[in-house]
Structure 1
Amino acid sequence: MTRATWIGLATLGSAALLIGAFAFQHLGGYAPCKMCLWQRWPHGVAVAAGAVWLASVPRVALIWLGALAAATTALIGAYHAGVEWRWWPGPASCSGGGLDLGTMSGADLLSTDGPVGLVMCDEVVWSLFGLSMAGWNAFLSLVLVVFWLRAARS
């Protein structure tokens, strides 16, 4: 395959993962946690790098930027999956108790209502074949890293 084909596949892959994340959120009703949102940004960078390269700005640096972005989201996804499996702790603001008491007002501390809209990072809300969305993001993003690296070698 040509370099442009590898870049096109990697770009479309990141775009598909972004669209899938938005579909789960807006059509499926699965609100993202903080770490889910972190995983989206590198996909956006990878899509932008690929789109710029494919729009006749063939710079090798864009290929490496796409590979770095895909690797970044894969690492965040693997970290997030580890938090879900309780292999290591996640961010205090969305794991465990989920509340950072230092950032709460006196009214919040006295309230008997639960937090509104807080999605915990250490809870699996959807899985397929034993992998959560974070796990699938990590796996599929690693595949995209391979695509970017194949593009770099072409």
Structure 2
Amino acid sequence: MSESLSLRRPDHPRVVPLALLAAGLGLLGGAMVLEHGLGIAPCVLCVYQRVAPAVVVVLAAVAAWPAIPMHGARRLVLLIALAFLANTVLAGYHIGVEQHWWAGTDACGNGDAAPVSLSSSLADLRAGLTNPEVVPCNTVAWSFLGISVAGYNMILSMMLAAAALWATRRPHLWR
């Protein structure tokens, strides 16, 4: 393998934080596309699962900053791994609620709430903002190949946590 294609010596010393920044932005962007592009209203657990990618974006941006020493960037990537790991646990909890293995939080609703109206009426929009309907956490709003959004979030968060941990254990990436 040629040296230019090798992962042993990255061309940019901040390649790991930049990749994690892109991953965090991708997860947040995907959530926005599902909500605003496809009209799939998030439940409270879905909203909570956006916190970790937002934290990752901030930490990765700081880690990619050239003024941050490489050992500091490496520690920030470790925190990113922990954030993705926490998101994996939260998404797993959400899957359990969707599958009715356990009850969700009080904010999750009981599953009897009507679906969110996607009406374009200004009066309906005002009513929705003043009296928002609770989107139940125990129903699967969208799935692909039998896996819900929470399932994909769990898989991606687990993979990204593993990748961040792997990167922190590779000294040659931090020189």
TM-score higher than 0.5: yes
State the match for 1:43 in structure 2: 53
Give the drift of 1:14.
1.7
Tell me the distance in 2 between the aligned counterparts of 1:138 and 1:81: 9
Match of residue 28 from structure 1: 38
Question: CA 1:97 to 1:23, structure 2 compared with 1: closer, same or farther past 3 Å?
Answer: closer
Choose from 141, 156, 161 the match for 1:140. 156
- Contact 1:6–1:147 (8 Å) recurs in 2: no
* Bigger relative contact order, structure 1 or 2 (CA pairs below 8 A, ≥6 apart): 1
Moved over 2 A (4+): 1-11, 95-99
Aligned length: 139
Distance 1:24 1:152, change over 3 A: same
* Cα distance in 2, alignment partners of residues 71 and 97 from structure 1: 28
Q: Secondary structure at the match of 1:87?
A: coil
Query: How far apart in 1 are the matches of 2:14 and 2:169?
Result: 12
Residue number in structure 2 paired with 1:14: 24
1:45-64 aligned within 5 A: 45-56=55-66, 57=68, 58=70, 59=72, 60-64=74-78
The residue identity in structure 1 corresponding to 2:49 is: Q
How far off its partner does 1:95 sit?
A: 4.0
Per-residue Cα deviation, 1:76-102 (whole angstroms, up to 9, x for no partner):
111101110111111122143679xxx
Q: CA deviation at 1:8?
A: 2.5
- Shift of residue 5, structure 1, vs aligned partner: 2.9
Deviation at 1:116, TM superposition (A): 4.2
Identical positions, percent:
34
Give yes or no for contact 1:74–1:141 (8 Å, CA) kept in 2.
yes
d(CA) in 1 for partners of 2:109, 2:98: 9
**Residue deviations 1:96-115 (CA, integer Å, cap 9, x gap):** 3679xxxxxxxxxxxxxxx7
Provide the C-alpha distance between the structure 2 equivalents of 1:75 and 1:24, rounded to a whole number of angstroms.
21
Give the unaligned 5+ runs of structure 2: 1-6, 114-130, 171-175
Whether 2:147 is the aligned partner of 1:128: answer no
**C-alpha distance in 2, partners of 1:87/1:31?**
22
